[in-house]
Amino acid sequence: MDQEISGLSSMATRPVLAELSDLLRRAHGIPVRFESAGGVAIARRVREGAEADLLVLADGALAELENAGHLVPGTARPLWVSQVVAAVPLGTPAPVLDSESDLRVALLSARRIAYSTGPSGTALVGLINRLGLAAALTDRLVQAPPGVPAGSLLSSGGADLAFQQHSELMDLPGVVVVGPLPGGTAISSTFSGGVLTASTQPDRAAEVLDFLGTDAAAGAALARGMRMPGAR
């Protein structure tokens, strides 16, 4: 069998990458395996010289690593766009999120609000500041540990409202996804991929990266709450 293509990714893209890796193995005979962890931890591993062929991370984090020389020049490309959604524990009333006013009410009504260490968490804190709610909500914000879905705090009773990438919340037991944030409060993250300079088989890694941008990959991404850049 051909040598396995190894990849590193953040948790948000783990489900779709697992599905596409299985498809590549079954339909094309290309062995691919991605290891996923919190985006901050993955970026640190790359900086420390992790041996892998491909990298999939939030666009900003990947661009920083590209600028630092960790990606093969010209290989970085956007792959998928993911929306941040709100979620609540199963069996509890779902807040209405039709307007910015609705979102304010939901935030101020929550006892504990879970968010992630990734780009969605940073964006949520920025949104709360922009809405002028930082002082009111500071003591209610609970940041999930790196690599742990914010939604897990809903099922454990640690929060009654959570915000994170749709892909990380949609299959969690005991969690109900309410929907994306309304209007101008919407938060989305672009996840990009690139071939690592540490790769021992950069040409084959580039072929796998090309596949991640195909229509076949788009269908898998859509099923996981993501869309291709430019798609609506």
Q: How many helices (H) and strands (E) does the chain have?
A: 10, 10
pLDDT at 1 exceeding the cut of 50:
no
pLDDT at 90 exceeding the cut of 70:
yes
Q: Which domains does the chain have, with CATH numbers?
A: 5-81+190-227 (3.40.190.10), 82-185 (3.40.190.10)
* 224 vs 174, residue with greater confidence: 174
Taking the model in full, what pTM does it have?
0.86
Question: How high is the pLDDT of residue 49?
Answer: 94
Question: How high is the pLDDT of residue 232?
Answer: 60
pLDDT in tens, 37-88: 988 899 999 999 999 999 999 999 999 999 999 999 999 999 999 999 999 9
Q: Is 149 left (phi over 0), alpha (psi -120 to 50) or beta?
A: beta
pLDDT in tens, 107-163: 999 999 999 887 889 999 999 999 999 999 999 999 998 878 899 999 899 999 999
pLDDT at 224 exceeding the cut of 50:
yes
pLDDT in tens, 151-165: 999 989 999 999 998
Instruction: Please work out, in degrees rounded to the nearest 5, the angle formed at the alpha carbon of residue 124 by the alpha carbons of 118 and 126.
Output: 105
Which residue, among 129, 90, 91, 122, has the nearest Cα to 107 in the 3D structure?
A: 129
pLDDT at 171 exceeding the cut of 90:
no
Determine the Cα–Cα distance for residues 27 and 153; give it in Å rounded to an integer.
38
Determine the Cα–Cα distance for residues 50 and 8; give it in Å rounded to an integer.
9
Determine the Cα–Cα distance for residues 224 and 16; give it in Å rounded to an integer.
6
Beta-carbon contacts of 132 under 8 Å, excluding residues fewer than 6 positions away, are: none
